[in-house]
Amino acid sequence: MPAERLSMRKVREVLRLKDSRLSARQIARSLNIGRTTVVDYLRRAKLAGITWPLPEGLDDEALEKTLFVEREDQRPSRPLPDWTWVHKELRRKHVTLALLWEEYKTQQPDGYQYSQFCDLYRSWEGSLGIWMRQEHRAGEKMFADYSGDGIFWFDREAGERREAALFVAVLGASNATYAEATENQKLSAWIQCQVHALEYFGGVPKIIVPDQPRTLVSKSCRYDPEMNPTYQEFARHYSTCIIPARPRHPRDKAKVEGGVLLAQRWIIAALRNRAFYSIDEINEAIDELLEKLNGKLLRKLKRSRRDLLLEIDRPALLPLPEKRFELAEWKVQVRVNMDYHVELEKNYYSVPFQYAREAVDLRATLMTVEIFLKGKRITSHVRSTGQFKYSTVREHMPRSHQEHLDWTPSRIVKWAETVGPSTAQLVTTIMTERTHPEQGYRTCIGILHLAKRHTEDRLEKACSRAVACRSHSYRSVASILEKKLENQPLPLPPQGALPRHENLRGSSYYN
């Protein structure tokens, strides 16, 4: 074999320049190729009896066949290994070409030496598709991505034609493929599909290689991307590692690029003439096509993806956890309000009052809301439905707020009645005048506490005077007691009509 495979255009130039009496070194320098390559092609041309000018009608394909024809005396007399078996065994953990060569030599003592063995394998491997030539160990990687094209379906409720997104996952060693249609490409759809893919493959790979969409990667970076907290939690649950492909480097996930291409041909194209009315209908059709795709024999390996999955990947995959991952959305660095509540989707959840103004992280599932401070869970709540609802734990409140919570209008009135009827009338009036009775609790309790300094008898008289003067406030009652006005005669209400005065215009003024 030549050191490098030339285009037939350069081969023609090699023959033309040789006819011009140039040396192999000069030809190599002129065409910017290796001297050994020039020598090899000139040797092949001599063996084939080809000289310049070339025979008329000899095209590039015929020239290549003539130069690379396998002559009887060039055919290998030694037995060749089963390259399909070698290729499959290399996917197993810790298996190397050196080990396989030793096993080959044990069975075939007159077989090829190690360097020839490696060259022959690399030559055979080169005939495989580029997506198959990548070397991936068993159970090592799963590649995941969405297809650029989707599958159309008709939404009867909305009365419109919509496009479902197509998720594709591929295992590195066996090329086993999983596909699923989703309504969108949001975080919940990404994680749901990856959970289903792991269950379909029957285990967990050591590494998952997705793209870097905003839903999965909070901050995209070539060297150190920042993962979404929910996706990190997914990885911890399945004891796997997430290594996103670098932006604009499709070779990092060439497996899934090939898998997406297969899915587009075997699934999207196959379903192009079918009508669907829900995502579930699409996925039922995809399941049938997946069985065909993974059951089809690979032309070079003579094995199906399902066979390779069972033989190579599945034994090396990590076991699935007992519980399926529960999707939880995270909100990080949420500031606790002064009223020791945090907001999530216009509902409010309490934390211990000591953490007011702290920045906390919220983890929300369908049923619960958990609140974390510096990685430690400080409380949890049942998730509220609707909007503008408060979920408050009594123990989270300061003692003064807890005591305030114990009060009711009837309890305050009963306490006031122990002082006297005027006191009871005053506190009842105060709570009645407020939009909500709770707004008057503090005022009423403050008035009742005045009996500790001034006696209940004086407080009753002061409340009687405040009611008469319509001064329904704590400050009025406290002022009456401080100035000792509770025993002063009450002001008399005006008697009869008002006296005439030039500033009193009367009803006739407006006629």
pLDDT at 437: 64
Q: What is the pLDDT of residue 477?
A: 93
Q: Per residue in 209-251, pLDDT tens?
A: 887 777 787 666 655 567 788 888 898 899 998 888 766 555 5
- What is the structure's pLDDT at 46? 83
Q: DSSP letters of 244-271?
A: PPPTT-GGGGHHHHHHHHHHIIIIITTT
Specify the pLDDT at position 36: 82
Helix (H, G, I), strand (E, B) or coil at 390: strand
- Tell me which fold the domain 141-316 belongs to: Nucleotidyltransferase; domain 5 (3.30.420)
Whole-number pLDDT of residue 27: 83
Q: Indicate the domain borders of the chain.
A: 8-74, 83-127, 141-316, 329-401, 407-482
For the chain, which ranges sit under pLDDT 70? 1-6, 69-77, 93-94, 126-135, 218-225, 246-256, 300, 400-407, 435-439, 491-511
pLDDT for the residue 439: 65
Q: Which residues contact 135 (CB under 8 A, 6 or more apart)?
A: 90
Q: How far apart are CA 396 and CA 351, in angstroms?
A: 6
CB 165 within 8 A of CB 152: no
Whether 132 and 244 have beta carbons less than 8 Å apart is answered as: no
pLDDT of res. 205: 92
CA distances 25 to 17, 32, 35, 37, 40, Å, are: 11, 10, 6, 10, 13
Copy the structure tokens of residue 357.
């103004």
Task: Return the pLDDT at 505.
Answer: 63
pTM recorded for the entire structure: 0.51
Residue type at position 386: G
Q: What does the pLDDT read at residue 131?
A: 43
Categorise residue 439: left if φ over 0, alpha if ψ from -120 to 50, beta otherwise: alpha
